[in-house]
Amino acid sequence: MITQTETKHYTIDEYLELEIASEIRSEYCNGEIIPMTGGTPNHNDIAGNLYILLKSALKGKDYRTFYVDQRLWIPSVSLYTYPDVMVLPKPLELQTGRKDTVVNPYFIAEILSKSTQNYDRSEKFVAYRSIPTFQEYLLIDQYHIHVEHHVKTAAHQWLFSEYDDPTVTLSLSTLEVQIQISELYENIDFSTV
């Protein structure tokens, strides 16, 4: 007879207590704690490139830009996650009772990996769309030049565009920022993947 291992379910308070003490980051989804794996050099460089481009372009404007370690709470789906790059309007809105968890991103970007690309395109995007302030989503492939761009055009309507040409300039309409695709991939070595 084969027995299944039961998955332990955690309360939000248990997760937050464990997360604060942990050296690794984990997502929390409906009672489950999912450890987040470390990124590859390409993943980290692409996220860093985007962060620097956004930070520079938004200097002096009423936005805050975060990279990798900022926790986001999505109450409608009971999800804590750490987007690769996020832009939020000032002043930040924090989860009630927390000083380390935001709730109101305008823009989110994820760098796709083989293990997370389906999740980032599907369930995670569904979760992000439940955030009232969320307007724009960028998915950036780390294995070859390919960017997927989603922009909210109306309630329950999103415009999808994709780019494979490094000379194309991407327009982040929510933030009024222009980024050349080649800048996202600066110093990326595809031969190492």
Whole-number pLDDT of residue 24 = 85
Burial class (CB in 10 A: 0-12, 13-18, 19+), 85: buried
Query: DSSP H helical segments within the chain, as ranges?
Result: 12-21, 41-57, 117-121, 123-129, 181-184
Given pLDDT bands bounded at 50, 70 and 90, which one contains residue 20? confident
Spatial contact of 60 and 71, defined as CB atoms under 8 Å apart: no
Chain centroid to Cα 124, Å, comes to: 9
Kindly report the pTM of this predicted structure. Answer: 0.92
Q: Which domains does the chain have, with CATH numbers?
A: 39-192 (3.90.1570.10)
The distance from CA 131 to its chain's CA centroid, rounded to whole angstroms, is 13
- Summarize the confidence of residues 146-159 as an average pLDDT: 97
Tokens of 182: 């080649």
Name the percent of the chain in helix, strand, coil, to the closest 5.
25, 35, 40
Percent of the chain predicted with pLDDT > 90? 80
Give the separation between CA 24 and CA 9, rounded to whole angstroms. Answer: 19
